[in-house]
Amino acid sequence: MGSPGGGTRVIRVANAPVSFGDFELTVGKPNLPGPDEILDRCYVQGNPNNECGLITRNADGSIADLLSSGLNLGSTEVEGYDLTVGYRMPENSWGKFSLVSDTTYLASYINDDDGNNLAGEYSDRNNNWRIRQNLALRWELGDVGATWMARYYSGQDESCRSVASSQRALLCSDPTRRIATGPAPENHIPSVTYNDASVFWKAPWNAKVTLGVNNILDRDPPRSATTFANSFDPQMEIPGRFMYMRYTQNF
């Protein structure tokens, strides 16, 4: 179950539309307990989520029916902001230029079981970037054009407690970090920006041919100490450039 909130506002100044929105979301964390856990929660733990309502008894007190149904045992609250800014220059003999920036800022990501804000924190294959931004510069002249796209992912911190102590000095940026409750080794995953470039040609037979290169500057993905079966998160680009050709035919 979720309760979304927030809104979007659009402002236009000449050729530069600006769109700003904020979002709030509360999501329940479902769990499918077994019969023993349902009984324990009903009679031992004080019926915290109305588990007793899943149990039907006979007149002699014996259990007639027990529904092993999913329960919302907690919630996650997410809050953030979206900002889109676009600018289009007047067309001239050099063609048409436009610039679009899409930015998302994650203000908070809080689970009610511990109250910690996980924005900017990483755990195995779970990214909570504070800032994500796409910046695109586009040029068109007649039937040809080109696009340069920059994709930015802000840095994150990950706990190194699950990393073997003998490997922390190698894999963790702060292996000796301590907090009030004791050792808290940590690794900082640096920010990364990927750059993509493409060119296109609009053919006279109502088709479009595009040639492109993703990660044209050959940026390696930032290293993670806790990602399963790899040294970087799977949402990052694999090392190396990716070249492609795309043909689109409209009918």
Pair (50, 108) in one structural domain: no
Supply the pTM of this predicted model. Answer: 0.76
Pair (43, 79) in one structural domain: no
Q: What is the DSSP letter of 126?
A: B
Of 53, 69, 85, which marks where a domain is finished? 69
Cα dihedral value 7, 132, 101, 243, nearest 10: -140
pLDDT of 3 reads 46
pLDDT of 19 reads 66
Q: Could you tell me which residues come within 8 angstroms of residue 34 by beta carbon, excluding any fewer than 6 positions away?
A: 68
Pair (97, 180) in one structural domain: yes
Pair (92, 196) in one structural domain: yes
Report the domain count for the chain: 2
Q: Could you tell me which residues come within 8 angstroms of residue 8 by beta carbon, excluding any fewer than 6 positions away?
A: 19, 20, 21, 82
pLDDT of 13 reads 44
Of 13, 43, 69, which marks where a domain is finished? 69
pLDDT of 20 reads 63
pLDDT of 32 reads 57
Pair (55, 96) in one structural domain: no
pLDDT of 15 reads 53
The domain containing residue 180 runs over which residues? 5-31+73-249
Task: Give the tens place of pLDDT for each residue, 66-110.
Answer: 777 665 556 788 899 999 999 999 999 999 999 999 999 999 998
Pair (27, 38) in one structural domain: no
pLDDT of 2 reads 46
Q: Within the chain, which residues score under 50 in pLDDT?
A: 1-3, 10-14
